[in-house]
Amino acid sequence: MIGIVDYGIGNIHAFSRVFKILGMPHTFLSDAKDFEDKISKIILPGVGAFDHAMQTLNNSGLRDKLDEFVLERELPTLGVCVGFQIFCKSSQEGSESGLGWISEEVVRLDDSKLDDYMPLPHMGWNNIEVMNENDLISGIDTEEGFYFLHSYQVTSSEESIIARSHYGGTITSIYNHKNLYGIQPHPEKSHSNGVRFLKNFGDL
């Protein structure tokens, strides 16, 4: 059973629609007791600013259960966009502490490397370059890529980067460290590639 964290950040129903199409059992995690419903994987969505996401999550009553299921039980956990960024300890975007699940940094995309026709936020479709093979990107059309909407990114060591993209500099697009997976673009907005990506996560 895939648990989609419902903490008021991110379009959880878009993920639900994809999993309904795929016929994959899933549920929303909006209360601590929901975690006991045979959850085997977790998706942490996110949109907007880092501080707002962390404040909302900390006020949701879900933080302790998330730490238990992610860090102690080591369930495969996917962070999406800001949901991926808050895996880190902190971000240049704000002052709140992140979840601290990974030791990577969240930094602003470097304006000095962007041409005049490349605004921030980085918004729209971009392809991906595979750095390390992983079941998560099986069957993905790398040239079609994914839909992005962000001004900040998680910087990562090369061994943790499944795929990267280019927008001025390089962007960590898809990430893996142990049971933690991250995707900077939005699979729920990325048509057939997004559907395949979420299926791959569900099949891990």
Residues designated as active site: 81, 186, 188
The radius of gyration of the chain from alpha carbons, rounded to an integer in Å, stands at 16
Which tokens is 190 given?
């990325």
Which tokens is 69 given?
């299921």
Residues 6+ apart with CB under 8 A from 41: 1, 2, 3, 75, 76, 77, 78, 201, 202, 204
Which tokens is 70 given?
């992610």
- Residue recorded with tokens 């079941």: 135
Q: How far is the C-alpha of 74 from the C-alpha of 148, rounded, in Å? A: 28
Q: How far is the C-alpha of 37 from the C-alpha of 155, rounded, in Å? A: 34
Q: How far is the C-alpha of 49 from the C-alpha of 28, rounded, in Å? A: 22
Q: Count Cα neighbours of 7 within 13 Å in the Cβ-side half-sphere.
A: 25
- Hey, which residues does 107 pair with through a beta bridge? 153
